[in-house]
Chain A
Amino acid sequence: MDPREHERIDELMAGYTLRSLSGEDAAEADRLLSEHVPGCERCRATLLALSDTVADLALAADPIAPPETLLPRLHRELEPRGGRSGLGRWTVVAAGIAAVLITGGIAVSMGLRAGDLQERNDLFAQALRFSQRPDAETAPLVGSQDSDPAPVSEVSAPDVDHFYLVCTDMPPTPAGVVYGIWLSDGVEAVFAGSFEPRPGVWVVRVPFDRSRFDRIVITLEAVGSSPEAPGQPVWEAAA
């Protein structure tokens, strides 16, 4: 590769590690991270060095003792960890096939970048038209642990090969973690795909007939994984 091209990538990676890219630069960094960086030893090393350096910038701020109430609050929310997920009775069907379906099937309205505007509008329009079907139902999910209302609702109709999730200000996931979508018919579980949360309101199109399943669960999954069992459940809904 032309050394000047690597200099351009270096600069993009610097902005990426600082979380300061937007618009076309953010899209270009995403493309490079998926297409070029994994196969380029030089860029992988640069990204690692930049990430380490940026992380250390946190130490430039004065440390402050957090409120004494914070650790007890966390203790109250730490669920026991007995292996993956509280959905132990689930089994996974055709995980490999599900992964193929995800790659080709799931669609997310990104909502942030100009280049995705048309796709975003199309998905919103599809979800809106879908919700106006006489047999369509809209139902909010609830927290798996606390039954609180979730920032996501499902819009589905019987015997249709897809349904929609409408998300509003979903909380960000940790670095390296995305939200996963699992569907269960009470006996088997299917991994329907994963997505990264975005600010604002946006839509996920899930390529499965919701009426075939009696439960949907949003979980936390590692980026790029094809999980064989549901991760930590966050929100869910029964049929």
Chain B
Amino acid sequence: MRDGDREDLDLHRRLTAGDRAAFDELYRRYAPTAYGIAYRLTGQRLLAQDVVHDAFLALWRAPEAFDAARGAFRSFFLSLVHHRAVDTIRREERMRARHDRAANLEAVAGEDHSESVVEEDFIVRRRREVREALADLSADQREVLEMAYFAGMTQVRIAEALGIPLGTVKTRTFAALRKLRSVLETED
């Protein structure tokens, strides 16, 4: 277990006991990443703000939803944010307008908001590792992951958009995640 994960566990334990300072510390650690991913998916600041607000409020109201036996707190919370963001954009039915933008990594990468954010060292390190691992994927693999994760598209819609069989989308997606996993595991 990494140091950051250990600290997260302690913060979660304190939060479960009603410690607001622990809530604030988890907010300081994860709000910029949460807001960044929510904005990347929704493309709208107000929607992104609602996603982050709802995720942190849900964490406070039902902290027992996190089970340390099922992985790191970071994984749990960022999944929670992602799921809420995906649900939001599907509900808003604005996916088509966002797809061109969200699926284009270069265009998004040009918007560098990170200068004003101060993050824990372990998050900065992990962020670099994830980006390098993504860059190592084949273009085909990266494309399906970005359409699923950053544009919130279903695999059926991805297949339609790319004009490829659904089975190919499934195979590429799993291969992409398996490769990412193998690279990131060696970094742990």
Contacts and interface: CB of A to CB of B under 8 A. Distances in A.
A and B are interacting partners = yes
Interface of A: 10-12, 14-15, 17-23, 25, 48-67, 70-71, 73-75, 77-82, 169, 171-177, 199, 220, 222-223, 231-232
B9 interface: no
Given A11-B174, A20-B154, A65-B35, A58 B27 contact: no
Contacts of B39: 61, 64
B158 interface: yes
A67 B130 CA distance: 26
B5 to A, nearest CB: 11
A222 B130 contact: no
Contact of B62 (A15, A57, A77, A222): A222
A70 B52 contact: yes
Interface residues of B, number: 82
Given A62-B113, A70-B49, A175-B79, A19 B86 contact: yes
A74 B56 contact: yes
Contacts of A62: 36, 40, 108-109, 111-114
A77 B20 CA distance: 12
A11 B52 contact: no
Given A56-B130, A56-B184, A71-B27, A18 B80 contact: no
A14 B127 contact: no
Contacts of B54: 171
20 contacts: A14-B174, A48-B71, A55-B71, A55-B74, A57-B82, A58-B78, A59-B78, A59-B127, A63-B36, A63-B113, A64-B113, A65-B35, A66-B49, A74-B53, A79-B61, A176-B65, A176-B66, A177-B62, A231-B62, A232-B61
